[in-house]
Amino acid sequence: MPKVENNILAVTNALFKDRKSWPHVTRHQKEEFFFIVNRLMARRHPAQAAALNSRHVDKAAAMDAWYAYFEGRPYPSWMWAKRQKADDEWEVAAEHQICPADMELIRALHPEELREEKTYIQKNKTK
């Protein structure tokens, strides 16, 4: 039985690229990397990630759910893309007096509006 290396890159490759190796990912690996994968998926799939985000969720089954969800879909190239520095996002938070927890929700659920507000603040800051 071919083993999948015990690192996040190997597990995500099995999840998205080399899907034939997914059955060889162990339950332990699925449980170990669930939080990271779910957090990454929350960037573009916040509703699905939120549904799986529970202390009592079966993490291996949740990883299998992500596997099924991406059946027939292309590799999410945005997954490993570097995110912009959070500094300008915290300018938005400071400007509107938004707490960090709320800022995380805004980032996950309303990224386009956040981007627009950052642009607006930066334009007006230079005037």
pLDDT digits (tens, 9 = 90+) for 97-122: 887 778 888 888 888 888 888 888 77
DSSP assignment string, 31-96? HHHHHHHHHHHTTT-HHHHHHH--TTS-HHHHHHHHHHHTTTPPP-GGGGPPPPPTHHHHHHHHHH
Provide mean pLDDT across the span 66-87: 76
Question: How far is 86 from 74, CA to CA, in rounded Å?
Answer: 28
Residue 118 tokens, joined: 């950052």
- Residue pLDDT, tens place only, 32-75: 999 999 998 988 888 999 999 988 999 999 999 999 999 888 88
- Residue pLDDT, tens place only, 1-14: 578 899 988 999 99
- Res 77: pLDDT: 78
Q: What is the CA radius of gyration of the chain?
A: 18
- Res 84: pLDDT: 53
The predicted model scores a pTM of 0.61
